[in-house]
Amino acid sequence: MLRKIDLENEIIRIADFIKEQIFGQNFKKAIIGLSGGIDSSVSAALVVKAIGKENVLGIMLPYKTSHPDSYNDAVEVAEHLGIEYQKYDISPMVDSYFEKYEPDATPLRRGNRMARERMCVLFDNSAKHGGLVVGTGNKSELMIGYCTQYGDSACAFEPIGHLYKTEVWEIARLLGLPKSVIEKKPTADLWDGQTDEDEMGMTYQKLDEILYQIVDLKKDKNDIMKLGYSENDIDKTFNMIKKSEFKRNMPASLEEIWVS
């Protein structure tokens, strides 16, 4: 069971938040990475609703192994929203590092490098156009650390960071986004056949329900087990939250030194 929220009013509330984050800080433009996935598509649609399509720049950042459908879906979303978009192939930037210094790097390291390279391009465009980089992370993935620190988690603000993945899908339907985006399996598109749910070991529906019990309702393991969820899934969720805590905090530092 998940929380019940008024999604139509939530769309208005998010749009007001976006407008304040951008215009309130004397910016006029938003820069957003478009992956062809549900989160970036919903985020882009909300930004358009908030500040107008003429003030939004969508950027596609494929790597050479990215599935063609990801780019095609991103283009479909950009054209559906009527925003300007640009494409940057990050393959040369990523490959030059690994070919010269780390040819035996694991897929995980390569994927992290791709995520950080994408953010370098987005923030450079932020400086070029005088806009803010809009985050595309949802609450589900942020809470379990399913993101790259200073990669896809880097941004000026997170318009959907308070929404669970299943709620993002519902908002996508209300916003009338293309079916190809809404119905596709979520994937970071880091290697062929990769999906988010396979990596996590459970569906987003189940993850969101367990997260809701832990994060929002503050229930312990025994209380959640009484609802019918398996001990393994509950333990896995608690562990993912704990292991990724550092990603959700500012870098740690010592307290101010007191001079006697």
What residues contact residue 83 under an 8 Å CB cut-off, 6+ apart? 44, 48, 53, 56, 57, 58
User: What structural domains does the chain harbor?
Assistant: 7-192 (3.40.50.620)
Rg (CA), the chain: 19
Contact between 160 and 136 under an 8 Å Cβ cutoff? The reply is yes
187 φψ region: left (φ > 0), alpha (ψ -120 to 50), beta (else)? beta
Q: What is the mean pLDDT of residues 235-252?
A: 95
Summarize pLDDT for 183-195 with one digit per residue, the tens: 998 877 766 677 8
- End-to-end Cα distance, the chain: 55
Q: What is the mean pLDDT of residues 60-75?
A: 95
Summarize pLDDT for 90-134 with one digit per residue, the tens: 999 999 999 999 999 999 999 999 999 999 999 999 999 999 999
Instruction: Measure the CA–CA gap between 136 and 159, rounded to whole angstroms.
Output: 7
